[in-house]
A and B are shown apart, each in its own frame.
Chain A
Amino acid sequence: MTSLSKGSSAVSTTEPAIEVRALCKSFGSNEVLKGIDFHVDQGEVVCVIGPSGSGKSTLLRCVNRLEEPTTGTVMVEGVDITDPETDLDKMRTRIGMVFQQFNLFPHLSVLGNLTLAQQRAKKRGKAEAIEVARRNLAKVGLAEKADAFPSQLSGGQQQRVAIARALSMDPDMMLFDEPTSALDPELVGDVLEVMKQLAREGMTMMVVTHEMGFAREVGDRVVFMDGGVVVEQGKPEDVLGNPQHERTRSFLSKVL
């Protein structure tokens, strides 16, 4: 295993944060990913767009092996995630993940949500975990909600808590799976604002999204997927403004 600590920047500038090669994934006879090559560089923000069912979530979930790849390799900071020898739990503490449905722990307070995995997976002491949690809550603008329960928060607040929960593990990168799709339109802005700030701070991000405005403004690169393959990728202004493929054009004409 290489570069276990965040400090090893000599290695990290040379290797991509995420590198996916020839990734195939089938559910039974349904081939969802058909040979994906994909990477996210350190500090890069990559937005993945594409029609429903094109395999965006599946690709994202293969990166931290919530989904088991059928064939192909997934390297995270140079470590093969699919290698049985790899300490998967340890790798996952370095890969933050934010879900469409938030998936906060409803039986725990906001603070409990943020400290649980710090204590269980990172073996941090309670005092340290609480300190880290409060810092991240402040960062997402919810410092005063530490003692609330998830059910007492709006969707937008819940998603920001979920982001703070992921950040509390001090991850090297963040995966977002349509983080604003389940939100009322007026709550989307707060969540996107938090994500923009993360991007400004140099966080490595892979964002599956339908928010074309966000992709254009924040994305360093946009990847368009359709039918389990990467059809087209490049700078946001190129892919979104001047798509080269017919499938991209027809998708964009529907969502823009």
Chain B
Amino acid sequence: MKPSTRRRLFQGVLYAVFAVLILVVIFLADWARIRVYFFNLDVAAQTLPEIVVIAAKNTIIYTVIAFVGGLILGLILALMKLSPVLPYRWLATGYVELFRGLPALLVIFGFAYAVPIAFEWRPPGGSVGAGLIGLIVVSSAYIAETIRAGIEAVPKGQVEAARSLGMKSSWTMVSVVLPQAFRIITPPLTNELVILIKDTSLLFIVGLALGERELTTFARDTLTSQANATPLVVASLLYLVITLPMTQLVAKLERHNKRGR
């Protein structure tokens, strides 16, 4: 047998196995029950409009807060990591390693419960606010590494050109390095953002009031009260409705930026 024939035969077998598996799942599953428990239009209708105007809205608000906060803090940390001042580098490295090493859930929990006790200080926004600080802390650790990599990917000649024109290092960073760095890291930053959208579901750990619930918490609560999993499906669809346009937008942005590469 020729190698190409053998490869085609092997691929054919793989497809066949795959098709059989799908058929088995389709035939074995109880579709009537699935429709009642997962795709129940009556239950879906009952989640509206709250699941959109409260839960999805909160998910978006929490994501924006955590992402903007993470970007600002991450940028500061990245600049500290690249600073010639040794203690800054140590501090930033320690921070990044610590909060990348811990589970996000634990950090959110820690900020929500331990901080008020330890410092007798209630963060703004109550326990959600405290949880969001935790989320910012975690996302900034990841974003800091991304931004640092982006800054380092800007060719050295760019800095040299700016400095040879008499621009101060701060202006060089702001006007020459960072704009290029952020173009380079647009894909990984989008990734952080999408992860963050999903990580807002971890905020349940701080105990969300009714109006504070985000998509996952809302769906879970409704699932419990209705004894029906349809809210999970609705929530899933809404997550996709949020993430898909965003990744499309970023892809478009990236194509536009190609011009300035």
Contacts and interface: CB of A to CB of B under 8 A. Distances in A.
B171 interface: yes
Interface stretch (A5-13, A117-125, A235-243): A117-125
A133 to B, nearest CB: 13
Nearest to B168: A89
Interface in B145-164: 155, 157-158, 160-164
Contacts of B261: 106, 151
Interface residues of B, number: 21
Contacts of A92: 163-166
Interface of A: 64, 66, 89-93, 95-97, 99, 101, 103-108, 116-117, 120-122, 149, 151-152, 162, 165-166, 169
B100 interface: no
21 contacts: A66-B163, A66-B164, A89-B168, A91-B166, A92-B163, A92-B164, A92-B165, A93-B166, A97-B161, A103-B155, A103-B160, A105-B158, A107-B260, A116-B167, A116-B176, A117-B162, A120-B175, A149-B259, A152-B259, A165-B165, A166-B164
Nearest to B161: A103
B54 to A, nearest CB: 40
A167 to B, nearest CB: 11
Interface in B242-261: 259-261
A93 B179 CA distance: 23
Contact of B180 (A90, A93, A95, A106): A106
Contact of A169 (B166, B175, B259, B260): B166
Nearest to A92: B166
A149 B260 contact: yes
A101 B166 contact: no
Interface of B is mostly: helix
A96 B166 CA distance: 9
Contacts of B183: 107
B164 A101 contact: no
Contacts of A103: 155, 157-158, 160-161
A161 B209 CA distance: 60
Contacts of B168: 89, 120-121
Among all A-B residue pairs, the 9 with the closest Cβ atoms: A93-B166, A117-B165, A103-B161, A121-B166, A97-B164, A103-B157, A92-B166, A107-B260, A120-B171
Given A103-B157, A120-B175, 5 more contacts: A92-B163, A92-B164, A120-B167, A121-B168, A149-B259
Contact of A117 (B157, B158, B166, B179): B166
Contacts of A96: 164
Contacts of A121: 165-168, 171
Residue among A97, A106, A152, A162 with the most chain B CB within 10 A? A106
A19 B56 CA distance: 68
B166 A90 contact: yes
Interface in B172-226: 175-176, 179-180, 183
A238 to B, nearest CB: 32
Contacts of B162: 105, 116-117
Contacts of B171: 120-121
A162 B155 CA distance: 16
Contacts of A91: 166
Given A107-B180, A120-B171, A64 B158 contact: no
Nearest to B164: A97
A218 B163 CA distance: 28
B127 to A, nearest CB: 42
B260 to A, nearest CB: 4
A108 B165 CA distance: 15
A108 B257 CA distance: 11
A104 B176 CA distance: 10
Contacts of B175: 116, 120
